Amino acid sequence: MCYYPDEYEIYEIHSNVSTNSSRYMYETDGFLKHYLWFLCGIGLPGNLLTILVVLSHKPYRPATLLLGCLAIFDSAALITKLIESQILYNKFRLGWLGCKLIYIPSTVTASIANWTLALICAERCIAVCYPLKRLYLMTTRRSKCLLAVMSAVLGTYVSVLYALFMVDSNGEIVCVFQNIGIYTFLLVQYASHIIAPFILISCFTVLVIRQLHVMRNNRQELRRKRSINESPILRQESQENKMSLLMIGASLLYFIVNAPSCLFYTVIWPATCIPRHVWFYVKDLLYVINDSSHALNFFVYFALVKGFRSDLYKVISNVVKQRRRKLDDL
């Protein structure tokens, strides 16, 4: 039997209102209530360490600035998602205004984080493919302006979207959509939240990887002629490569965790008969996978980029030395 979910039922299950009506809830309720605590437990310290590593790079360049902002927005997304989930699963009565506001902070911060990664990919593409033009195309000031404008646009867009279509259900605990179908709403939301950044990130990442391969061949040619330690150009290129590798790692993680959502909402759901229980399992599984992208960037950086590990060790050693000095002074 094909299942096309009703918006009330989606949020009834998601808010844990009817605990006796769904076998699905008994099987997943404990996990859905607490998985964000785990993601925050590993993601927030990792994002903090990423910010500390970024702050150790002076002067700040557009790439380091954007990478630090990505860690900040990822942390904000985790915190707002955790607060939202606790409000929903503890069955607070939201009312008309609460239903319009409850989903905005988490959606906005997650959207800004995704688009910040797209901006990082664009900056790296310009830096690697057009290094001379980067000096005036992507300055630190322009990066800050782009972040501010992007945040304002996404915040306004998401706020208007929920203000127009989300209401409370006649005094009930759950929130429902009005004047729009659930599939249409989710498709519009995902188009700006995940699908559009997904396309841009994929395109820019392919271009960067291709150009890095060309640069690697050029570097090998230079090594035949002179030592890499004697070439300031190669040292600068090594720093640029490190930032590009960080971007590639974050992009690969984003691709892995968001490709299933793009495929499900644009292809599988509208074209396939999905049983009711399968739809709920898939929906919440995709939520969990998408949320994990905000918690795992640090671990990808640490695993894939040797330069990041070296910078992290330096930051930690400096912090330990400063602590010891303070203790000695006491």
pLDDT of 16 reads 42
For 2, list phi and psi in degrees, rounded to 5.
Answer: -75, 145
Domain hosting 61: range is 7-329
pLDDT-derived band at 232 (thresholds 50, 70, 90) equals low
Whether residue 84 contacts residue 294, with contact meaning beta carbons closer than 8 Å, is answered with no
- Mean pLDDT for the chain? 82
Q: Residue 96 falls within a domain, yes or no? A: yes
- Give the global pTM: 0.85
Which residues does 182 contact at the CB level (< 8 Å), separation at least 6? 5, 6, 7, 10
Cα 222 from Cα 55, distance rounded (Å)? 32
Q: 254-259 long-range contacts, Cβ below 8 Å, gap at least 24?
A: 254/114, 254/117, 254/197, 254/198, 254/201, 254/293, 255/198, 255/201, 255/202, 255/205, 257/289, 257/290, 257/292, 257/293, 258/194, 258/198, 258/290, 258/293, 259/198
**Number of other CB atoms surrounding residue 204 within 10 Å:** 24
Cα 8 from Cα 212, distance rounded (Å)? 50
pLDDT-derived band at 182 (thresholds 50, 70, 90) equals confident
Residue with tokens 């790692």: 249
pLDDT of 133 reads 81
Query: What is the average pLDDT across 219-236?
Result: 59
Cα 243 from Cα 238, distance rounded (Å)? 9
Q: Identify the CATH number of the domain in which residue 41 sits.
A: 1.20.1070.10
pLDDT of 20 reads 38
Whether residue 225 contacts residue 272, with contact meaning beta carbons closer than 8 Å, is answered with no
**Four-residue CA torsion sign, 152, 158, 164, 166:** negative
Q: Residue 188 falls within a domain, yes or no? A: yes
- Is the bond leading into 59 cis (omega within 30 degrees of zero)? yes
pLDDT of 226 reads 61
Q: Residue 35 falls within a domain, yes or no? A: yes
120-176 per-position pLDDT tens digit:
999 999 988 888 887 788 888 899 999 999 999 999 999 999 888 887 766 555 677
Whether residue 227 contacts residue 143, with contact meaning beta carbons closer than 8 Å, is answered with no
Q: Residue 25 falls within a domain, yes or no? A: yes
Q: Residue 1 falls within a domain, yes or no? A: no
Q: Residue 2 falls within a domain, yes or no? A: no
pLDDT of 279 reads 77
How many domains would you assign to the chain?
Answer: 1
Q: Residue 82 falls within a domain, yes or no? A: yes
Range from 90-99, 183-192, 302-311 carrying the lowest mean pLDDT? 90-99
Higher pLDDT, 277 or 214: 214
Whether residue 88 contacts residue 174, with contact meaning beta carbons closer than 8 Å, is answered with no
Q: Residue 78 falls within a domain, yes or no? A: yes
